[in-house]
Structure 1
Amino acid sequence: MNKKGIEPVVATVLLIVITIAAVALIIAFVVPFVQRQLSTADLCLKAQGIQIDPTATCYSYDQGSPTNVTVKVDWSGQSEAFTLSGIKISISNSTYTASPEWEEENLPRAPGESRTAVFKGVVNGTITQISIAPVIGAGRGKLITCEMRSITPQPC
């Protein structure tokens, strides 16, 4: 019997070529994914200056009537420009969480600016937590919602 096989040098070269092709395919998919994640993290890092002012954020509650909530947001400490497209807000009592709309005219427009918004009758009872998350414009109509930041408000 005359058996023929692949020469060891040819087999080694084939393995190297297949490995390089596999690495190239993995890089083609992984690199853009990592770049998108880093871009999102960078934008949200810039938005760290968007904070709830705990001294000016409070709620008023009369027994049997809806609770009114006043939320003051400060934009401080940021010199890098980004587009603040909105603020997601969450107002919670012990049993319910409301997510009212934050009106565009109540958005701070630049570092150093503060804005106050009043939300009337969004929940009943004592407010246990207020959370905000900046919504950043990332170009081409894409919006990124950053991490929520929370406080426990006091009665007005």
Structure 2
Amino acid sequence: MEQLKFDNQVCFPLYVLSRQVTAHYRPLLEKLDLTYPQYLVLLLLWEHKLQTVKDLGEKLCLDSGTLTPLLKRLEKKGLITRYRCKTDERIVEIVITPEGMNLRKKAQKIPMQLQASLNLDDKERETLHKQLQRLMDKIKPVQAPADEI
């Protein structure tokens, strides 16, 4: 059956590409003492200074069980502050600290450095981004069955 041929699978190149791109980020982020997921959180907070844990989870496609330890580590580094919303204590809000904002300047060159390390010109990067965004928009997230969680 041709459909089950390894070379015809879309999943494998996506999987490898994701791992390789993340590996290209690693040396750039090590200089800032950040992991890739921490960098993603900071990108959102640099753009929107205050976010709820729920909003961050939705934007990053991460559940609270994954996101909470990550946020605790960022807080321990002094880059964010977590606190309960005064009007609804069930909501945890995340605010970037001045130290977290200062890290933004140091991270300024990372997107261009990454693009160079991937050997992409501006047009290729833009085309790839549009294609991936379109695919993400088409595919609905799949929730794991309760027995797998």
Pairwise same-fold verdict (TM > 0.5): no
TM-score norm. by structure 2 comes to 0.27
**Larger CA Rg, structure 1 vs 2:** 1
TM-score norm. by structure 1 comes to 0.26
Between 1 and 2, higher relative CO (CA 8 Å, sep ≥ 6) is seen in 1
More helix by share: 2
